Amino acid sequence: MPASQFYTRFTQWILSYRLPKQGASLLYAIGGTIFVGFLIMMVTGILLTQFYHPSPEEAYRSLQQMQQIPLVAFLRSIHHFTAQGILAMLLLHVVRVFITGAYKRPRQITWWIGLALLFIMMMGAYFTGTVLRWDVSGADALAHYQEALHIFGPLGDVLTNVLPGSSPMLIRLYSFHIALFPVLLIALMIAHFCLVHFFNLSPTPTEPWSAAEAAPPDQMKVGFSEHLWAIVRFSLLYYGPLILIACFVRAPLLDAPSGEHGPLKPPWPFLWMYGFENVWGIQVIIYLGAVFFGLLALVPLLDRSNDRAFKARRGILASGGVFCLLLVGLTLYGWLIPAQEHKGHHHEEEHHNGVVESLKPATTDTTLDTHPEMLSHSHDP
């Protein structure tokens, strides 16, 4: 098929696509807004790779040098704050889909692919991005990763650096962050968008046809261009302030890691686990993550009726409300309690020797001693 003919058919397929009235609302533009944020992350990430050195000996120094170049520091701040915004928007999107019952038949697979996107973005891309900061918080996150994987025995050891000849964990996670996870996310996004296009938007709980698989044809009153404009408006309203914040607030960069594990708290998406971790140790994170995503995956199987009306779904909505309140309460608790040294950091010291040894060159190099001004941004907010 000639390229011009393909382009014509593609544009007709897109522009002739019709959606129900909610397609023009900002609440139903969240998915597209997340995609815009992903594009921002891709562009800024590609630019930042030109300055970042993923070796354990040079990573922290390269970040300090990036902080000295205003434009690069600005790009890093955009990358950081957009990552926070995407994750917050993903969680909001899950809540919206749950409340409106958009996970019901025939959209169960769409829901599960969305959960896979959330899992990879939060437990994969966001987590590895935290490690790549390679300050005390990044090293602590890596120690958590290695310690938690011990629960899987020999399989977990393959994913750490305890085996002879293993590559440095920082380089390994860097390759995951810039290659593996983006490829997985792009593939899942394509599948997700194709399913959304095929099934169209789910009827809302307040409509007379809330139990139908799709809105009646005469209710498809919104063109794709209107939906696209809603995404553009929401993206400007959402990412505009984040970029403005990036103009004045630099992305965090704490002290250089030393190999010692002091009391630290995890990033905000994982704060709800913090109280459990202080009691039962680091490996409880694996169980909590499995419970979190497992319960979300069960939603379409637990709520199998076709009706999306609120009155027909009181039980599942009440359960979801309790679940959300519990997560918010645990997050606030993790934020308010004093930081503690996490149980498990020292119970098998040999698993951390590789991390400790790789950290030492970054904190003892004479370049830092002779250029103390390079340390001036190690406590940026």
Residue 42 belongs to a domain: yes
Q: What integer pLDDT is reported at residue 154 of this predicted model?
A: 82
- CATH code, domain carrying 68: 1.20.810.10
Q: What integer pLDDT is reported at residue 379 of this predicted model?
A: 34
Q: What integer pLDDT is reported at residue 369 of this predicted model?
A: 37
Residue 223 belongs to a domain: yes
Residue 27 belongs to a domain: yes
Residue 12 belongs to a domain: no
Q: What integer pLDDT is reported at residue 344 of this predicted model?
A: 53
Residue-wise pLDDT for 225-253, tens only, equals 899 999 999 999 999 999 999 999 999 99
Q: State how far the Cα of 96 lies from the Cα of 59, in Å rounded to an integer.
A: 39
Q: State how far the Cα of 35 lies from the Cα of 95, in Å rounded to an integer.
A: 17
Q: What is the CA radius of gyration of the chain?
A: 23
Residue 11 belongs to a domain: no
Nearest Cα to Cα of residue 163 among 359, 361, 360, 351? 351
Q: State how far the Cα of 239 lies from the Cα of 33, in Å rounded to an integer.
A: 9
Q: How far is the CA of 15 from the CAs of 35, 45, 233, in angstroms? A: 19, 31, 19
Residue 2 belongs to a domain: no
Domain count within the chain: 1
Spans of the chain, pLDDT less than 50: 345-381
Q: What integer pLDDT is reported at residue 182 of this predicted model?
A: 97
Residue 136 belongs to a domain: yes
313-341 in b/e form (b: 16+ CB < 10 A) is beeebeebeeeeeeeeebbeebeeeeeee
CA 178-179-184 angle, to 5 degrees, is 115
Helices (H), 16-126: 30-48, 59-68, 70-100, 108-119
Q: What integer pLDDT is reported at residue 362 of this predicted model?
A: 41
Residue 370 belongs to a domain: no
Structural domain of 77: 19-365
